[in-house]
Amino acid sequence: MSSTSVTTIVKMLESLPIEVQDRVAEHLREYIDNLQDEIRWDQSFQRTQSKLITAAQQARQEIAKGHATAMDYDQL
């Protein structure tokens, strides 16, 4: 975010009553926490994507060879 954007948001917040500023700040904290979680998830997925592709290919090969069996959910 550019410094102009941050300045605009700060000015908007400053125009609000203190109680509302606190509520907005709490919503922003939660929103930013959620965004950071998504970023971490995306980074983790990127690191493991090649392994997931390899596992999926291996599973397809086992199915094609008849080595796979249907999952019995009652045994979980």
Grouping H, G, I as helix, E, B as strand and the rest as coil, residue 37 is helix
Q: Spell out the domain ranges in the chain.
A: 17-64
Taking the model in full, what pTM does it have? 0.59
Q: What is the mean pLDDT of residues 8-29?
A: 96
Tell the burial category of 24 from Cβ atoms under 10 Å away from its Cβ (0-12, 13-18, 19+).
middle
Reported as a single tens digit per residue, the pLDDT across 33-67 is 999 999 999 999 888 989 989 999 999 999 999 98
CA 24 to chain centroid, in Å, comes to: 22
pLDDT number for residue 1: 57
At 23, is the pLDDT very low, low, confident or very high (cuts 50, 70, 90)?
very high
Do residues 59 and 48 make contact, with C-beta atoms less than 8 angstroms apart?
Answer: no
Q: Is the pLDDT of residue 2 over 80?
A: no
At 76, is the pLDDT very low, low, confident or very high (cuts 50, 70, 90)?
confident
